[in-house]
Amino acid sequence: MSADPIPNPPPPALPLRWTALLGTDPDMRLRVGQFLVGSALMVTQWAFVLGVSHYEGLHGTAVGLWWLSTLVVYLVFYVLLRSGHSTRWPDPSLTQAQMLAALALTATAYPFVSRVGGLVPGAMMVILCFGMFRLSTGLVWRAGVFGWVMLALVIAWNPWPRAGDRWLDSVVLLSTVVLFGGTGFLAERLMRIRVRLSEQRQQLNEALARIEALAHRDALTSLFNRRFGDALLEQALTRQRRDPGQALSVVLIDLDHFKRVNDQHGHAVGDAVLQAFANAGRETFREGDTFVRWGGVEFLLVLSGSDPGATHLALARLRAALTPALEASGALAALGERPEGQPALTFSAGLTAWRAGDTVRTVLERADRALYRAKDEGRDRVVVE
Domain boundary among 148, 180, 209: 209
Query: pLDDT by residue (tens digit) across 141-198?
Result: 888 889 889 888 988 887 666 645 677 778 888 888 888 888 888 888 878 887 888 8
- CA dist., res. 195 & res. 231, Å (int): 38
Query: pLDDT by residue (tens digit) across 10-27?
Result: 555 555 455 556 656 777
Residues 281 and 196 in one domain: no
Residues 236 and 342 in one domain: yes
Q: Are 212 and 277 in contact (CB under 8 A)?
A: no
Tell me, what's the pLDDT at 365?
92
Domain boundary among 155, 178, 209: 209
- CA dist., res. 46 & res. 66, Å (int): 9
- CA dist., res. 372 & res. 34, Å (int): 65
Residues 59 and 194 in one domain: yes
Average pLDDT, the chain: 81
Residues 148 and 53 in one domain: yes
Domain range for 338 is: 226-384
Total domain count for the chain? 2
Q: Are 370 and 352 in contact (CB under 8 A)?
A: yes
Residues 234 and 105 in one domain: no
- The secondary structure of residue 224, as a DSSP letter, is B
- CA dist., res. 315 & res. 58, Å (int): 90
- CA dist., res. 36 & res. 21, Å (int): 10
Residue 6 lies in a domain: no
Residues 241 and 186 in one domain: no
Residue 287 lies in a domain: yes
Query: pLDDT by residue (tens digit) across 152-161?
Result: 898 888 766 6
Burial readout 352-365 (b: 16 or more C-beta within 10 A, e: otherwise):
bbbeeebeeeebbe
Task: Please list, in sequence order, all residues whose beta carbon lies within 8 angstroms of the beta carbon of residue 24, skipping any fewer than 6 positions away.
Answer: none
The CATH number linked to 286 is 3.30.70.270
Which of the four pLDDT bands, split at 50, 70 and 90, describes residue 106? confident
Residue 5 lies in a domain: no
Q: Residue type for 57, please?
A: G
Number of other residues whose CB lies within 10 A of the CB of residue 132:
22
Domain boundary among 179, 209, 239: 209
Residues 268 and 329 in one domain: yes
Residues 241 and 198 in one domain: no
Tell me, what's the pLDDT at 343?
78
Q: Where is pLDDT greater, at 23 or 271?
A: 271
> Which range is least confidently modeled, 52-66, 108-122, 216-230?
52-66
| Cα distances (angstroms) measured from residue 31 to each of 76, 137, 306, 344 | 14, 21, 47, 62
Residues 110 and 153 in one domain: yes
Angle between helices 267-284 and 308-329 (to 10 degrees): 130
Q: State the first-to-last Cα distance of the chain, in angstroms, to the nearest integer.
A: 25
pTM of the predicted model as reported, rounded to 2 decimal places: 0.52
Q: Residue type for 175, please?
A: S
Which of the four pLDDT bands, split at 50, 70 and 90, describes residue 33? confident
Query: pLDDT by residue (tens digit) across 307-355?
Result: 888 889 999 999 988 888 888 878 777 776 665 657 778 899 999 998 8
Which value, to the nearest 10 degrees, does the dihedral of the CA atoms of residues 76, 79, 81, 84 take?
A: -130
